[in-house]
Chain A
Amino acid sequence: MINKKNNRRKFLQVLTGSAIGIIAVKALPSGIFNRPKVHKGKFNIKIHSSAIPRNSKV
């Protein structure tokens, strides 16, 4: 291919630029991209075994 070395250089430049861009956007204090990382994931939502619901027969 013509300018094979040039193409690879351009590709690497684009890749590096994208990576820097992503990190920069993630660092922005913007609500959509940077929702507070508080409590992401599973919680300990467990029914207490000794609690008696209304629909149980006592």
Chain B
Amino acid sequence: MKNGENKKTNNPEFWKSLKEYYNDPEVLKAKANEFADGVTDDFDPSEMSRVSRRKFLALLSASAAFTATACSDYRDKGDVVPYNVRPEGVLPGKANYYASTCSGCSQSCGILVKTREGRPIKIDGNSDHPVNKGKTCAIGQASILNLYDPERLQQPIIDKRKSSWKKADTEIISALKESMAEKKEIALITHQTDSQTEKKVLDDFVAAYPNTKIYTYELFDSGNRYDGWKKAYGVTPLPSIMWDKANVILSLDADFLGNEGNYIEAMRKYSSRRDAVNNASFNRFYIAEAGLSLTGMSADYRFRLSPDLQLEFILSLLNEIVSNDPAMRTKLNSAAFDLIFRNSLEKFAEKSGLDYGKLVNLVIDFKNNAGKSIVYAGDKLSPDVHYAVNLFNYVLGNNNLYDYKSVFTNRLELSDNKDLKNLVESMNNGMVGAVIHYDTNPVYHFPPELDYAAALKNVKTSITLSELPNESIAASYYAVPINHYLESWGDSNPRVGIYSLKQPVVAPIFGTRQKESILLTWIIGKTEAYSEDIYHSYLMENFKDSVYDKTDSAATFNHFWNTALHDGIISIDESARPPVDFDMANINLLKPSTASGGFTVILNKNYYLGDGRFSNNGWLQETPHPVTKVAWDNYASIAPNTAKTLGVEFGDFVRIKVDERNVDLPVVVQPGLIENFVSVELGYGRENSGEVANGVGFNVNVLLQFNGKSKWIINNAEVAKTGESYELVSTQEHHALDDESVKDFHKIRGIIKEGTVSEYKKNPGFIKEHDHELFGITRGHEYNDVKWAMSIDLNKCTSCSACITACNVENNIPVVGKDQVGRGREMHWIRLDRYYSGTPEEPKVSNQPMLCQHCDNAPCENVCPVNATNHSPDGLNQMVYNRCVGTRYCANNCPYKVRRFNFYDFRDHFADAYYQNDLTDLTNNPEVTVRSRGVMEKCTFCVQRIMEARSESIKDGRKLKGSDVQTACQQVCPADAIVFGDVNEEGSEIQKYREHELGYHVLEELYVKPNVTYIAKLRNTHSSEDV
């Protein structure tokens, strides 16, 4: 028997295959041979592979050479060349600041522009400016990106072909002279301006070309407000409002904290009366609005009211007040009283569905605060409503709150609708020889009934002056590139007595010219008349005549001028005199609007894109809407019940039809709106406007109208579902409010803690009543030196998002695009969480800025496998980008979900690397690392600013103080809601906030020991409503 053979059978006991088991002869033969067949056969080289070792090496080296060449300009950072001759005043590594004036909107806030090595990198408010006092808005912050937009026009374009200034100037001057000779009109279309020098240039242009007519328009203007004011007080200047002195505020569809007037100033003044920590006496804020605005989110009481009923509302309130007050009644004449007497508040409450009890409380509040309250109507409401509001304020003595030391100026009257219609008719009739779009975009902005684009084709010479390509540029024969405001000289007179200057913080980057200089060249009529200083000299001369000569300054003009440039602001005592009498005669002209049969549509200005001029700005497109949190699109906001009736949900398309005009928009179901109402925002649906702007959102300008009392409020619209849907991206999840798992979760988890003023007065410690003691099992680290912490006052925060954009600019945060925002990958280090409570019809809104809490027991630090995130000795949770390998465990562990991961190198990824170019790279803050793919990032409490302050203190030989550092978000917040500093510093602001009885931490029970304290929001409701 062979070894291993089974004794009973001939099969082997151990076998490797079935063939072996069954004693296959082939297997047995193979076992007998030491080598397999073919092993010992003779070697034949001709049968081998043709690729020899030499060939293989040749191929390998060629591939390596090819790869190296293909990658040759990857990550090419260029050369670093030191100054041979250092410009005076420039120290590499140290920033220079220049005072200037922002041109993001018509408010002309004073700004300080931070520059590094000659290039502007950040815009902040000028604290010397009496109106904005060191604050800017989201648009002001992000406007720096427009300077470095790669699609800026760089040279004149004639008939779609690049040309030169000489050719453009020659042809345009010749065309203007030809229009004069042919006695044809030269139409110059401009926006309003508060610059007296710019106005002088326009006047000089008219003097040089007397056939010129100037047309002034704005997509969103205060024309109705001015009309109402004129009817009440004649042609007198419009004063600003002393919001800080108002005990009771009633806003009628006025978004004065978000979008209208100088909301920076309004926010500062309003929030000074919501300061619980400094024991301010809280104001009481009522709002009556159709939609849910940013301002409406802050109100103590919200009445949902159609714009058609606003006139009746204010008259009913006035009736209720004066009926029982003989003293106030004497201020009215008999006609006025008769009209007012017809409006009963009780009947109005029944008609409108408002809570009569709350209306009575409103009346009581006004009576108790006559002379210390204010009613303010929105820009979109008709002049009649504004007149009625002016009457109300007059009767109650609330004109005490009109600030005649800070009165608005108005250089250019807005053109009538009739003027614009006449212009288009003249264009169609060939009576207009030349049209100049003076930094305006009428092809996009004008209502469709004008058919402006078609009329423009009938004009021989069409010229558009613009920074960026736009619809009007595409329709014009001559495209003339102008400077960004950071490259421009200018002046501004936003209020009577306040003059601010604009100076170029950088010389024009491209071959652009200042728009005033272009006009001056055309005025002189010779191409060689242009020089870079032409407007500079003109401005200085006009400033001397109009400002210097008015002051009693003992200094020479040059010294005065240099001081004005240095400070940015000149204040002269030029307060206006208040008007004496109210003109009651116009009360007979008041006509209440007829109720709308169909839907009411309101066209709103977008908070961040304005009238569309910032639609090519990625930072602003990506900033989530303060109410809906939608980014990268506009939409139709409708109430939940209306959505149910129409059978639509979030993202479904509806068609809004007004007369023959219609537009399809995706829906956002928005709690808090009135029924049968649609709120839409303009500024989207751009064409020919840049890679970022094109195709984003929908152009709703088609709904603009000239008819009716207001061009933005449209009645009798038809709205119907189309059956299609669209992907809208929102940075906040949309849960049904009645979903049990999420209903009021922010209250149950203590993320939002709120109360009322009366509750707080009765029991100041009510916020901490249900807190329990927290235990740790280890002894915590002791911070004996500086320990950084932050506090955010939820009473003051209005969710304006200036902090988000300021943080974006300061920390080089990339734009990721709609697709990535839809996946929750937006890179904002600070976000504004918005929570609803109450019912979908009458929601209460709570806003909470959320950023890295820099927890002492940070759950992210323990789980990083490579120790890329750790804690600094001064209490900061640090991030070491080059250690991070991208496991994302830290983000997983963060209870606040504030960590942002770079899923892509977003500079390459966004819009085919639109922002990855040498020009836009210039906007980066050199003190902050630009993060690449695969690393985690988050708020650092502006560690670069802390380090800079620390170096300064070491250089000065002193101790670093908490007040030496301001984070970007703190610096920009117009409401002063953010406080930052050293908690170990005795008597510091941050210590006061941290220890305040209204202070709490979010998710404190997790014992992560966060260092951001939130001051609980108090709503100033009537004590009778306390539960």
Contacts and interface: CB of A to CB of B under 8 A. Distances in A.
B97 A55 contact: yes
Contacts of A22: 66, 69-70
B919 interface: yes
A58 B918 CA distance: 35
Interface string B80-101: 0000000101100000111100
Contact of B58 (A14, A32, A52): A14
B566 interface: yes
A37 B904 CA distance: 21
Contact of B566 (A10, A48, A52): A52
A36 B913 contact: yes
Interface string B356-393: 00000000000000000000000000000000000000
B314 interface: no
B66 A36 contact: no
B590 to A, nearest CB: 52
Interface residues of A, number: 35
Interface string B108-133: 00001001011100000000000000
A44 B512 CA distance: 12
Given A45-B509, A51-B505, A36 B914 contact: yes
Interface string A1-15: 000000100110011
Nearest to B62: A14
B934 interface: no
A54 B566 contact: yes
Contacts of A11: 58
Nearest to B920: A39
A33 B360 CA distance: 69
Contact of A46 (B70, B506, B566): B506
Contacts of A29: 912
B922 A45 contact: yes
A7 to B, nearest CB: 8
B59 A51 contact: no
A55 B916 CA distance: 33
B900 interface: no
Contact of A44 (B98, B509, B909): B509
Given A22-B66, A22-B70, A36 B917 contact: yes
B65 interface: yes
B651 interface: no
Contact of A32 (B55, B74, B99): B74
B509 A58 contact: no
A39 B918 contact: yes
Interface in A14-37: 14-15, 17-18, 21-22, 25-26, 29, 31-33, 35-36
A18 B918 CA distance: 29
B918 A31 contact: no
Contacts of B536: 50
Interface size bracket, B side: 35 or more
B912 A31 contact: yes
B70 A54 contact: no
B178 to A, nearest CB: 35
A47 B90 contact: yes
Nearest to B71: A33
Contact of B918 (A14, A26, A40, A46): A40
B624 to A, nearest CB: 26
B501 to A, nearest CB: 10
Interface string B18-31: 00000000000000
A51 to B, nearest CB: 5
Interface stretch (B557-565, B767-775, B936-944): B557-565
B510 interface: yes
A46 B908 contact: no
A29 to B, nearest CB: 8
Nearest to B508: A44
Contacts of A48: 503-507
Contact of B509 (A15, A43, A53): A43
B914 A47 contact: no
B150 A38 contact: yes
B58 A56 contact: no
A41 B504 CA distance: 23
B66 A51 contact: no
B667 to A, nearest CB: 34
Contacts of B90: 47
Given A22-B66, A43-B922, A53-B89, A58 B562 contact: yes
A20 B908 CA distance: 25
A53 to B, nearest CB: 4
Contacts of B509: 43-45
Nearest to A26: B70
Given A33-B70, A58-B563, A41 B98 contact: no
B96 A15 contact: no
Nearest to B59: A14
Contacts of A58: 559, 562-563, 565-566
Contacts of B118: 45-47
A53 B96 contact: yes
Contacts of B913: 31, 35-36
B912 A36 contact: yes
Contacts of B55: 10
Nearest to B87: A47
Interface string B502-528: 011111111000000000000000000
A21 B119 CA distance: 40
Nearest to A20: B66
Nearest to B74: A32
A18 B65 CA distance: 8
Contacts of A15: 62
B116 to A, nearest CB: 10
Contact of B917 (A10, A17, A35, A47): A35
Interface string B44-70: 000000000011001100110110011
Contacts of A35: 73, 908, 913, 916-917
Contacts of B917: 35-36, 38-40
Contacts of A50: 503, 533, 536
Contacts of B916: 31, 35-36
A35 B71 CA distance: 12
A38 B58 contact: no
A12 B702 CA distance: 64
Contacts of A41: 918
Contacts of A25: 70
19 contacts: A10-B55, A31-B908, A33-B71, A33-B74, A35-B73, A35-B916, A36-B917, A41-B918, A43-B509, A43-B922, A44-B507, A51-B504, A51-B505, A51-B565, A52-B562, A53-B89, A53-B98, A58-B559, A58-B562
Given A46-B507, A55-B97, A58-B563, 17 more contacts: A18-B62, A31-B913, A36-B150, A36-B912, A38-B150, A39-B150, A39-B917, A39-B918, A39-B919, A44-B507, A45-B119, A48-B503, A51-B505, A52-B562, A53-B97, A53-B566, A58-B559
Interface of B: 54-55, 58-59, 62-63, 65-66, 69-71, 73-74, 87, 89-90, 96-99, 112, 115, 117-119, 150, 503-510, 533, 536, 559, 562-563, 565-566, 908-909, 912-914, 916-919, 922
- Top-9 shortest CB links A-B: A46-B507, A52-B565, A39-B919, A18-B66, A54-B97, A48-B504, A14-B62, A58-B562, A53-B96
